[in-house]
Amino acid sequence: MANEDRVKLLKELLDRQDIKGIQLLIADGCPVAELRAATADFVWRFVLTNSGRGVSIANVDELLTEWTQALSGLKTAAARLRVQDMDDPSRAAEFEQVRVRTAVARIAENTQLAGIRINRHLRAGELSPPLETAIDDCLREQGFQWNGGDTVHEVWSEEHEARLRAAQAEHKARKQMAVISEGGVDAPVLCLSRVAAFRVQARRDDDEAFAEAANRHLSEGLPVAEIQQAIECTDWRYVLENCGDQIKLSRLSDLKAWYFQLVDQIDENLQSILQVSEVQGSPKAMLRLLEAREELGRYCHEAYIDGLRVQRFLLPEDEPPAPDLDIQRVLARAGLTWDGGFEVEAAPGENAKLFTDACALMGVRNVSYS
């Protein structure tokens, strides 16, 4: 089939959102360049997943709307943040802000994850405001910052200038780390055919050089079928992002090893979690149990997100993980469940009641857990 005919057919398939039809064309050796050409003047953006076996297609307007809504939700939550008032000794206000800051940090993380997923589909420069600065800017309007942890911190008050400088230095360092180093491929390898050269590079131990070679081949219009041929019988898996402009590569062994390490981390931390009956009547012990459960919830969240990442790379025959089932299976040993976010408890509402009861024992009233 001629290139023009394939591009025309791809546009028709995109118009009908015929994912299976597009997958068949890709499997038949349709160059990535033609898929890019088909989406060039279209509202559709794509990511090739499962090492070329799967494709995710999304409407650019819907993606940008979702990003705007995610940031709007973060701004609404951030409006509840308050710089610590040293003139207000109210313990209720102090307890309330602990929960608010934790909630905002969780929303910031979910916003970041949404931005990463959305940006994965978009072309360079299409995401506005950019992911690198949007969350920081949103929180700094309220005088706070989030460094990826369980809470947000004040940055603009005079006594926190040192923390602000540290945050700015960290932000600058993250931007510098994003710069991709330049490199090349050995001359003898370049003399081989495209598939053979790519296959040789895939079997070397230089992961960075292989990633550069893959992106170079991709920019030359290398068909997805050739990428699949090159990594056959190897440990490599890939995802094509940004409508085919960028390839992400990872080894199957690394993907699974890190994921199952995160699942094991849940199991290890589960051993130190006390039962509610063991802390009843002791407010400090009750709050420590809540902190331990919050930490366990974060481990569950991290394992789940990484499990989804691994799923994007793997082939069907690789037996991709089922993160939700894996996490619930581990927690079930202690009679706990996970809500899919950050809460781990034996029954819905148990953590909120534990928090309220602890506050009441300490003489703190009218404090919301959420």
Give pLDDT tens digits for 191-202. 346 677 677 777
Last residue of a domain, one of 177, 205, 228: 177
Q: What is the pLDDT of residue 7?
A: 84
Q: What is the pLDDT of residue 2?
A: 64
pLDDT at residue 356 is higher than 50: yes
Question: What is the Cα 87 distance to its own chain's centre?
Answer: 40
**Cβ contacts of residue 65 below 8 Å, gap of 6+?**
none
Please tell me the number of Cα atoms within 13 Å of 237 on its side-chain side: 21
- Give domain status of residue 167, yes or no: yes
- Higher pLDDT residue, 32 or 49? 49
| Parent domain of 83 | 60-177
How would residue 180 be classed by pLDDT, with cut points 50, 70 and 90? very low
Last residue of a domain, one of 129, 145, 177: 177
How would residue 161 be classed by pLDDT, with cut points 50, 70 and 90? low
Lowest mean pLDDT: which of 17-26, 132-141, 267-276?
Answer: 17-26
pLDDT at residue 290 is higher than 90: yes
Name the average pLDDT for the chain: 83
Q: What is the pLDDT of residue 160?
A: 53
Across residues 204-218, what is the average pLDDT?
Answer: 79
Cα–Cα distance, 288 to 295 (Å, whole number) = 11
How would residue 138 be classed by pLDDT, with cut points 50, 70 and 90? very high
Q: What is the pLDDT of residue 172?
A: 53
- Give domain status of residue 357, yes or no: yes
96 closest CA partner among 108, 111, 84: 84
Q: What is the pLDDT of residue 179?
A: 44
- Give domain status of residue 91, yes or no: yes
Lowest mean pLDDT: which of 156-160, 176-180, 297-301?
Answer: 176-180
What Å distances lie between residue 354 and 150, 291, 300, CA to CA?
19, 11, 20
Whose structure tokens read 């064309």?
A: 25
**Cβ contacts of residue 303 below 8 Å, gap of 6+?**
259, 262, 263, 265, 266, 323, 326, 327
- Higher pLDDT residue, 95 or 85? 95
pLDDT at residue 185 is higher than 50: no
Shared domain for 159 and 65, answered yes or no, is yes
Residue 93 tokens, joined: 């206000």
Please state the domain count of the chain.
2
- Give domain status of residue 294, yes or no: yes
Cα–Cα distance, 122 to 131 (Å, whole number) = 12
- Give domain status of residue 77, yes or no: yes
- Give domain status of residue 233, yes or no: no
Q: Are 60 and 44 in contact (CB under 8 A)?
A: yes
Cα–Cα distance, 314 to 251 (Å, whole number) = 10
Q: What is the pLDDT of residue 134?
A: 94
Q: What is the pLDDT of residue 227?
A: 75
- Give domain status of residue 215, yes or no: no
Last residue of a domain, one of 142, 177, 212: 177
Shared domain for 257 and 349, answered yes or no, is yes
How would you class 366 by CB atoms within 10 Å of its CB: exposed for 0-12, middle for 13-18, buried for 19 or more? exposed
Lowest mean pLDDT: which of 19-33, 124-138, 190-204, 348-362?
Answer: 190-204
Cα–Cα distance, 26 to 10 (Å, whole number) = 10
**Cβ contacts of residue 273 below 8 Å, gap of 6+?**
289, 292, 293, 296, 334, 336
Across residues 111-128, what is the average pLDDT?
Answer: 92
pLDDT at residue 89 is higher than 70: no
Cα–Cα distance, 275 to 256 (Å, whole number) = 32
- Give domain status of residue 257, yes or no: yes
Q: What is the pLDDT of residue 91?
A: 62
